Amino acid sequence: MFKKILIANRGEIALRVLRAARELGVKAVVAYSEADETSLPVLLADESICIGPAASSGSYLNVRNLLSAALVTGAEAIHPGYGFLAENAEFAEMCEEHHLTFIGPRPENIERIGDKARARSLAIEAGVPITPGSDPLADLAAAHAFAAEVGYPVILKASAGGGGRGMRVVQSPNDLERNFVQAQEEARAAFGDPRMYLERFLEEPRHVEIQVFGDGEGEVIHFYDRDCSIQRRYQKVLEEAPSILDPALRADIAEAAVRLARHIGYRGAGTCEFLVDREGRFYFSEMNTRIQVEHPVTEMVTRFDLVQEQFRVAAGEGLSLRQEDVRLEGHAIEVRVNAEDPDHDFRPSAGVVTDVHWPGGPGIRVDSHVYAGYRIPPNYDSLIAKVIAWGPTRAMAIARMERALRETVVEGVATTIPFHLRVLDNAFYRRGAVYTNFIARRMSI
């Protein structure tokens, strides 16, 4: 096991990784920007080091500064968390070149499956079903030609993207004309790569993902599924595990995810995302080569620490368990508490948190870097906490989540807690009728 690592991220995921390191007896250095000097992971770290200004381009995306920080502090490995450089194959390769272990997939894993258009080809090779889609599009004319061939509606996606950036549902040729260049520019700004591709758009699917783990030597296991259908502008806002699926269908999707990960010799934590239509047919969408924001719901229903397993695999210790050791127990729900005002089109609400009280009690977990007096900077994602509720049944998990959110106090900034309470109170949500258009169709916001 490593003696010391560098955490190349911020916020709640930096704190999550720090806690995993502590429990394994690994010292952790937290890299931080000038805007994050007083954040909780920085205050709790064994060591901390400033890597640049508030702008992520000069700090959390600054490869040279991050590598220098790791080397000067004597770290043996870098954990990238999620976002920023977590799925950057070049960064993973440069870590290796500087004799630093990248706590994540090998660079070739990221490069092969991280490109969404290429991932579709790999899924076909592995015998995993995919929605009809294009190769990377050379230009708008190629996009028009493909859309005319498969029929509208189609969905426009960034080849190198994730988190909904660069994504547009297109209903007509005129829509495609209006959205293509905008999506390209959004993808270029977010990922440095403007390439786009198209997929046939499925009406009212569920968004189901499978958590996989590989040892890089051919062994891959899964930790079952999560339902991430409740989304706003392609950003997940609430997740739960397991999905409301027939057990046989769940097993089929999980087997397909394992088959794909094994096909590429995958190492570390990864998530295969699928769309499931109303007839129970499933289609591979993409693979995220990192730990997910929503990984706690999987940890709650499997009683296993996924981040610590990332450490073990990266350190060459292999997987610590076999597939038959992974069992589902109960149900878990996670809500993403963002510093946003849901009554004003989810406007960001940066500022000082004047008071905060996080909930507790049976089955409740809170992952947050926020404390009373903490200033939320305007420079980054607005996520300030994840509240996770576990129960022996889905109904009990919902009841515990409602109770936990009503106990929560965050003063000084607006949060999305009132919105989450409305979701939990929605009759369609309570009976599990959730699809990717749930918010648009079932919620008035």
pLDDT digits (tens, 9 = 90+) for 289-313: 999 999 999 999 999 999 999 999 9
Cα atoms found within 13 Å of the Cα of residue 207, Cβ hemisphere only: 22
Do 366 and 219 fall into the same domain?
yes
Q: Of 87, 121, 149, which closes a domain?
A: 87
Burial class (CB in 10 A: 0-12, 13-18, 19+), 285: buried
Do 333 and 390 fall into the same domain?
yes
Least confident of 79-88, 194-203, 373-382: 194-203
* 233 catalytic residue (yes or no): no
pLDDT at 137: 85
Do 81 and 178 fall into the same domain?
no
Strands 206-215 and 168-170: unpaired
- 123, part of any domain: no
73: CATH? 3.40.50.20
- 411, part of any domain: yes
Domain hosting residue 146, numbered range: 132-200
Q: Which residues have C-beta within 8 Å of that of residue 365, sequence separation ≥ 6?
A: 296, 300, 387, 388, 389, 390
Q: What is the mean pLDDT of the segment spanning 61-76? A: 98
At residue 192 the predicted structure's pLDDT band, cuts being 50, 70 and 90, is confident
183: CATH? 3.30.1490.20
Q: What is the mean pLDDT of the segment spanning 49-67? A: 97
- Write down the catalytic residue from 290, 312, 336, 394: 290
Give residue-wise pLDDT tens across range 107-159. Answer: 999 999 988 778 989 999 999 999 887 888 878 999 999 899 888 899 888 88
Mean pLDDT of the chain: 94
pLDDT at 163: 64
Do 146 and 287 fall into the same domain?
no
Crossing angle of helices 394-407 and 417-424, rounded to 10°: 150
- 114, part of any domain: no
CB 12 within 8 A of CB 307: no
- 333, part of any domain: yes
Q: Of 180, 200, 220, which closes a domain?
A: 200
- 232, part of any domain: yes
Do 256 and 385 fall into the same domain?
yes
Tally Cβ neighbours within 10 Å of residue 311: 24
Do 247 and 158 fall into the same domain?
no
Residue whose entry in the numeric block shows the structure tokens 């806690």: 19
- 224, part of any domain: yes
Which residue from 17, 33, 36 is spatially nearest to 78, judged by alpha carbons? 17
pLDDT at 116: 77
Classify residue 58 by its DSSP letter: G
Do 191 and 218 fall into the same domain?
no
At residue 445 the predicted structure's pLDDT band, cuts being 50, 70 and 90, is low
Residue whose entry in the numeric block shows the structure tokens 């229903």: 301
Residue whose entry in the numeric block shows the structure tokens 């758009």: 201
Using the predicted structure, report yes or no on whether residue 404 has a pLDDT greater than 60: yes
Do 239 and 357 fall into the same domain?
yes
pLDDT at 162: 66
Do 171 and 263 fall into the same domain?
no
- 317, part of any domain: yes
Do 224 and 290 fall into the same domain?
yes
Q: What is the mean pLDDT of the segment spanning 23-46? A: 98
pLDDT at 250: 97
Which residue from 429, 353, 367 is spatially nearest to 394, judged by alpha carbons? 429
Do 45 and 23 fall into the same domain?
yes
Q: In degrees, to the nearest 5, what angle opens at C-alpha 163 toward C-alphas 272 and 304?
A: 45
Give residue-wise pLDDT tens across range 200-226. Answer: 888 889 999 999 999 999 999 999 999
426: CATH? 3.30.470.20
Q: Of 177, 200, 223, which closes a domain?
A: 200
Do 211 and 166 fall into the same domain?
no
Give residue-wise pLDDT tens across range 231-286. Answer: 998 889 999 999 999 999 999 999 999 999 999 999 999 999 999 998 899 999 99
Tally of structural domains, the chain: 3
pLDDT at 189: 78
- 113, part of any domain: no
